[in-house]
Structure 1
Amino acid sequence: MCLNVNVSLDLFIEYLQIEKNYSQYTIEHYQYDIREFFLFMSEQGIESASQVQYSDVRIFLTDLYNKKLKRKSVARKISCLRSFFKFLVREKIITENPFSLVSIPKSEKRLPQFFYEEELQVLFEACETDTALGQRNKALLELLYATGMRVGECAKITLKDLDFHISTVLVHGKGSKDRYIPFGSFAHEALEAYIHNGRKELMGKGGEDDHLFLNYRGKGISERGIRNVLDKLIEKSSLNGKIHPHMLRHTFATHLMANGADMRTVQELLGHAFLSSTQVYTHVTNEYLRNTYMSHHPRA
């Protein structure tokens, strides 16, 4: 990219970090999408943000669709670039936003996948509790289902984040937003068994580490490590298909709402910034209740 684009991008990244308080993960996505756009523009002979016009944007979008990208990916790139050019207009670096007239493609209406209670029971039964790693896996699974936290949040949990007196965990969420989430007796019991036994055994392999969940080397488990644990549990169980960590988060929310929890409470527990993100679970819950009815009512 040319110098003036790099300078503008650096200013925008600073804005995302300081004013918007975005996570490093989100910022890296913004950087990638913006650099990709200007690499394509340079191939068209355009070297500065001020030269980009609506017709150039249409050519770029046509290229994305020709690559058969998913609508969600295209929507993310449009949203990112629209924000970038809006920032440049605000800073008077350019006069017009070439993305202002571009509509974001509607995302595919796909309901979140979740486990039925019977399926979840099979998954819990796949956990062995006679080994250190087995105790860790059981505690991990119980906590993810009990709290609905994200896998990245789970990997960051330390011992001091747990309060066994009131059965709550302090979760460090997106955008440095912390929240307290309660957990029930099953998670409480599994966590205590792991901390007092399995975790001590794992600690002996790696020395001091404040992370709650450790890998086989005694170090804090990574997000990928948690995904591997869940994949192996699926393999041991009689369930079909692949599990992804968000399924436990979706299951947490679906089961809460199916049993009468109000949407605002679920929003708070999930750490959603907007209620619209939580509203999808009303559709999931309706389908859940319908399937339960059809499976159990004598005259369904």
Structure 2
Amino acid sequence: MASHTPLPGPKPIARLGEQFLAHLAVERSLSHNTVSSYRRDLTKYFSHLRAREVMQISDVRPEDVASFAECLEGMARASVARSMAAVRSFHAFVFEEGRTGANPAADVRPPKIPSRLPKAMDIDDVAALIAAGGAGEGPAPLRDRALLEVLYGTGARISEAVGLSVDDVDLAGASARLFGKGRKERVVPLGGYAVEAIDAYLVRARPSLASSGPGTPSLFLNTRGRPLSRQSAWAIIQNAAERAKLSVHVSPHTLRHSFATHLLQGGADIRVVQELLGHSSLSTTQIYTMVSRDTVREVYSLAHPRALS
């Protein structure tokens, strides 16, 4: 298990924080990345409590929680909301465990984050990105093309894609097994382009990459034969976007957005898209159904018999 920096602050409160994080990891089966994010947020919060000379959990007052929220001003609203969610969840856990008689964070609300339309790429830009990623000689371009085809062809999160093992991919059945947040498993279809790209990579590239390493079941490998990291996968996408001379910002999440948007534009049912994305809530998927006013007006003008004068 990866080591981590102990939580700061008064020891009684820090011990409760460690118990809370263990609860998230073991009982709620949250991912390592999510628990690490909560640890960073609680580190800031506990340092704030120590600075205010709050030594016991029973001494925490609503104004202590509110003052921490004020200290977060200037950060991105999403970061503030996440930090406050960590603080609220911690205090709810402590209260439910009977460690304190009141929940000082119960009435402290995080800021409301406005809904934002995800940015989807044009289909031609996606094709150009994948082509640029697979251009060149040697095993790396074959790997990069396969990775890009998987990201766009399945809507996988970057962590899900680099987490694939060889056995998770069934080329004969044209499917892949992904492990999402909390290790929740789902099986998604692989399109013909993705199957072709993965097959070429497995036959012509992966064996030479694997020969440089200690041996691993991971599907995507780096030049040292070790599992490809999320950071390296991000760099692959950025380099492909530069070579394709794309004017739009491209990230792993851009490909996931594009996957969902293009499916819905093609007539896919939103509940199917929800399943493919691994969203636990339909409301998370529904953001992809929002379209611009220009698109609405264009469709209206073309489809309604009385639209034109």
TM-score by length of 1: 0.92
1:243 aligns with 2:250: yes
Report Cα offsets for 1:128-165 as digits up to 9, x if no partner.
15321111111111111110011001111111111112
Which 5+ residue runs of structure 2 have no aligned equivalent?
1-8
Q: Of 7, 26, 35, which aligns to 1:18? A: 26
Pairing partner for 2:146 from 139, 151, 163: 139
User: 1:290 maps to what in 2?
Assistant: 295
Residue of structure 2 in register with 1:106 after alignment: 112
TM-score (norm 2): 0.89
Distance in 2, Cα, partners of 1:189 & 1:49: 58
**Post-superposition offset of 1:111:** 1.2
Cα deviation, residue 58, structure 1: 2.1
SS at match of 2:71: helix
Write the distance in 2 (CA, Å) between the matches of 1:173 and 1:105: 27
C-alpha distance in structure 2 between counterparts of 1:192 and 1:293, whole Å: 41
CA root-mean-square deviation:
2.1
Contact 1:213/1:221, CA 8 A, preserved across alignment: yes
Q: Does 1:36 align with 2:44?
A: yes
* Letter of the structure 1 residue corresponding to residue 292 of structure 2: E
Measured after TM superposition, the shift of residue 17 of structure 1 is 2.0
CA 255–76 in structure 1, closer or farther in 2 if over 3 Å, else same: same
Native 8 Å contact 2:118 2:257 kept in 1: yes
Matched, 1:75 2:81: yes
Aligned CA distance change for structure 1 residues 293 and 141 (closer, same or farther; 3 Å): farther
* Cα distance in 1, alignment partners of residues 66 and 264 from structure 2: 43
Q: Which amino acid aligns with 1:6?
A: A
CA shift for structure 1 position 19: 2.1
**Is residue 49 from structure 1 mapped to residue 57 from structure 2 by the alignment?**
yes
Aligned pairs for 1:155-166 (under 5 A) are 155-166=162-173
Higher helix share: 1
Quickly say closer, same or farther: Cα 1:292–1:143, change in 2 above 3 A. Answer: farther
- Indicate conservation of the 8 Å contact 1:129/1:138, yes or no: no
CA distance in 2, matches of 1:18, 1:212: 27
Give the direction of change, closer, same or farther, for the CA distance of 1:288–1:112 in structure 2 (3 Å limit). farther
Q: Please tell me whether the aligned partners of residues 146 and 252 of structure 1 are also in contact (alpha carbons under 8 angstroms).
A: yes
In the TM superposition, residue 182 of structure 1 has moved relative to its aligned partner by 0.4
Contact 2:216 2:227 in 1 (8 A): yes
Q: Deviations over 1:95-123 (max 9, x none)?
A: 11111111221113321111111111221
Distance, in Å, in 2 between the alignment partners of 1:92 and 1:209 is 46
User: Residue type of the partner of 1:226?
Assistant: A
Selected match of 1:121 from 123, 127, 146: 127
Percentage identity across aligned positions? 33
User: Are the counterparts in 1 of residues 14 and 46 from structure 2 also a CA contact under 8 Å?
Assistant: no
2:158 equivalent to 1:189: no
C-alpha separation in 1, matches of 2:248 and 2:262: 21
What is the total number of aligned residue pairs between the two structures? 294
